[in-house]
């Protein structure tokens, strides 16, 4: 049975919809209101406060910490300086993805590791022979995502931290309401935003300080439905939906390499050793057989499908996690695993795994679309991701104005 996160005493009274889901054993609001429109609009036009405490969090410390991190991830951990964050996948010896997440260098011998799935046993197995400690701090560390165009100004008003000087994928320590907080300029929305990491005992004080200042910055708490729409717009992958960990995959088609995820840029072959290097080097030497790409559906064609049966066109407000076939002519060449109507782009978009011959941007394909229990095909085109990529996401905060 799920339990409440460190912020549950605040989120429960706000969740008027009583629409919850289980995220890693915690109660997580799907939407606070009956509909998630206001929460999505906060992400794109104001500030959204999202409880991300259910993430798995590990503290890696000791003289061998950097060597363990470098041994496991596909990126070069030795280049990571204190106060920097990286996003990375990690693989098994066959070069198949186990999970993805962020790694923050807290100090010369300390890293915080976040993941969607449990990875403690794997990390400790890989630490053999190293002077390093791996501690599961998932329950001790509370975490919030503060996302949206006004998030920097809101943070600036309540903290003594250098919000203006914090670069994209940078981290700084600060105080909020007297509590020590690590602030990283990261997030899962593809917008300007931050993630806040704090001791569990300080969670409610930090939440209250953000909410107390939030009315001037159009702040709203946001749940998973709004987050799902925004992460598809940002072209960000979701484990167990767009791909599966090799630990949990039940078919060969569910197993991916970083190259198939479109994350080949995150595989650093300048490193001499890391788990899966030999297999990934062999794969890199040959043409890819498939890859996850973005798709933009031709909405006028979808409208005509509904018009033909006398119905108004219907685009679900929530993102779909139901896979549907993708075709080139009469041949199925892949599947679209996530899709949504993008309110900001006014388009139907999705993420799909397609064969190599159809993965070039601009390639025309067809996506299955069902109307009144009849399966049709709607035209779509392979599109560069992220679909939505505002300059404020990475721009220097002082250039965004106060």
Give the pLDDT score at 402: 53
Segment 30-78, tens digit of pLDDT: 999 999 999 999 999 999 999 999 999 999 999 999 999 999 999 999 9
Give the pLDDT score at 287: 86
pLDDT interval class at 401 (50, 70, 90): low
Percent of the chain whose pLDDT exceeds 90: 96
Contact 213, 205 (CB under 8 A): no
Give the pLDDT score at 317: 86
Segment 313-338, tens digit of pLDDT: 988 889 999 999 999 999 999 999 99
Q: Per residue, what are the HEC states of the chain?
A: CCECCCCHHHHHHHCCCCEEEEECCEEEEEECCCCCHHHHHHHHHCEEEEECCCCEEEEEECCCHHHHHHHHECCCHHHCCCCEEEEEEEECCCCCEEEEEEEEEEECCEEEEEECCCCHHHHHHHCCCCCCEEEECCCCEEEEEEECCCHHHHHHHHECCCCCCCCCCEEEEEEECCEEEEEECCCCCCCCEEEEEEEHHHHHHHHHHHHHHHHHHCEEECCHHHHHHHHHHCCCCCECCCEECCCCCCCHHHECCCCCCCCHHHCCCCCCCCCCHHHHHHHHCCCCCEEEEEEEECHHHHHHHHHCCCCCCCCCCCCECCCEEEEECCEEEEEEEEEEEECCCCEEEEEEEEEHHHCCCCCEEEEEEEECCEEEEEEEEEECCCCCCCHHHCCCHHHHCC
Distance CA 296, CA 347 (A): 7
- The mean pLDDT value for 215-233 works out to 98
Across the chain, mean pLDDT equals 96
Residue 231 has pLDDT above 60, yes or no: yes
Segment 326-384, tens digit of pLDDT: 999 999 999 999 999 999 999 999 999 999 999 999 999 999 999 999 999 999 999 99
Segment 108-158, tens digit of pLDDT: 999 999 999 999 999 999 999 999 999 999 999 999 999 999 999 999 999
- The mean pLDDT value for 233-256 works out to 96
Residue 13 has pLDDT above 80, yes or no: yes
Give the pLDDT score at 31: 98
Segment 154-197, tens digit of pLDDT: 999 999 999 999 999 999 999 999 999 999 999 999 999 999 99
Give the pLDDT score at 181: 98
pLDDT interval class at 400 (50, 70, 90): low
Give the pLDDT score at 1: 85
């Amino acid at each position: 049975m799920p339990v409440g996160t460190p912020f549950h005493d605040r989120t429960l009274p706000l969740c008027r919809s009583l629409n919850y889901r289980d995220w890693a054993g915690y109660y997580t609001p799907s939407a606070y209101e009956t509909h998630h429109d206001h929460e999505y609009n906060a992400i794109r036009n104001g500030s959204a406060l999202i409880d991300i405490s259910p993430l798995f969090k590990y503290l890696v410390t000791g003289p061998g910490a950097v060597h363990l991190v470098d041994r496991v991830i596909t990126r070069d951990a030795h280049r990571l300086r204190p106060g920097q964050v990286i996003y990375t996948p990690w693989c098994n010896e066959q070069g198949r993805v186990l999970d993805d997440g962020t790694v923050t260098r807290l100090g010369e011998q300390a890293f915080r590791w976040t993941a969607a799935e449990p990875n403690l046993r794997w990390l400790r197995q890989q630490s053999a022979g190293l002077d390093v400690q791996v501690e599961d701090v998932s329950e001790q560390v509370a975490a919030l995502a503060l996302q949206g165009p006004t998030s920097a100004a809101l943070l600036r008003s309540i903290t003594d931290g250098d919000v203006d000087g914090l670069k994209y994928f940078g981290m700084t320590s600060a105080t909020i309401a007297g509590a020590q907080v690590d602030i990283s300029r990261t997030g899962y929305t593809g917008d300007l935003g931050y993630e806040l990491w704090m001791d569990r005992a300080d969670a409610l004080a930090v939440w209250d300080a953000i909410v107390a200042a939030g009315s001037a910055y159009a702040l709203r708490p946001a749940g998973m439905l709004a987050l799902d729409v925004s992460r598809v717009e940002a072209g960000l992958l979701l484990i167990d939906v767009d791909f599966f960990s090799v630990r949990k995959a039940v078919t060969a088609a569910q197993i991916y390499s970083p190259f198939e995820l479109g994350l080949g840029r995150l595989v650093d072959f300048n490193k001499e050793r890391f788990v899966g290097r030999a297999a990934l080097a062999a794969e890199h030497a040959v043409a890819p057989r498939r890859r996850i790409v973005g798709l933009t559906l031709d909405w006028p064609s979808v409208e005509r499908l509904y018009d033909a049966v006398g119905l108004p066109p219907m685009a679900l407000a929530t993102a779909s996690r139901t896979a549907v076939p993708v075709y080139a002519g009469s041949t199925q060449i892949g599947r679209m695993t996530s899709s949504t109507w993008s309110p900001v782009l006014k388009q139907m978009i999705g993420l799909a795994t397609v064969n190599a011959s159809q993965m070039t941007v601009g390639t025309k394909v067809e996506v299955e679309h069902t109307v009144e229990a009849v399966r049709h095909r709607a035209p779509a085109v392979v599109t560069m991701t992220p679909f939505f990529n505002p300059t404020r996401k990475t721009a220097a905060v002082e250039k965004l104005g106060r």
